[in-house]
Amino acid sequence: HRPRLIHCKEGGGTAQRYYYVQKPGQSGNKLYRYTSYSFGMKKILLVEDTVEVLENLADLLHMEGFHITGAVNGSDGLKKLDSIVPDLIITDLRMPVMDGFTFLEELKKKKELAVVPVIVFSANVTPEIEEKSLKLGAAAFLKKPINVDILIETIRTILQT
């Protein structure tokens, strides 16, 4: 089991974050502080319209050593990609404004982004949806609710970290 994240805050510099966690099986008010630095971290763009899921996954992935940029839909994700080139993109499919399929199609049009691996995750899982995601260039397809251990393993396999 993983430590349970209680609180996260930015540290003294832009590349520093403090995590306050409870260890597995621990009860009471005792918290442990971990400091994370983003220098040299692999960059992930996380596209998810449910803010709570976006924030929780971003915090967990940051604790695993990744620098996370969040976007609330495909259109927002494309805007973020104007200023960053991530090592990996993780996207939901069902989102307002621009869904994950349209987002994948738009990624393929940009040469510099066409080589960035994408993990698609969705609660809407059928063989047809998974197949369409992979045909549009997804490196992997995971179903929601997301198993964090499988997500981390998939990310590390794709990024070879």
- Structure pTM? 0.76
In this structure, the strands spanning 4-10 and 88-91 are unpaired
In this predicted structure, the answer to whether residue 145 has a pLDDT above a threshold of 80 is yes
Under the phi-then-psi rule, with left for phi > 0, alpha for psi from -120 to 50, and beta for the rest, what region is 23? beta
What is residue 141's predicted lDDT score, i.e. its pLDDT?
95
Quick: pLDDT tens for 105-129: 999 888 888 889 999 999 888 899 9
- Return the percentage of the chain with pLDDT > 70, whole number: 75
What is residue 38's predicted lDDT score, i.e. its pLDDT?
47
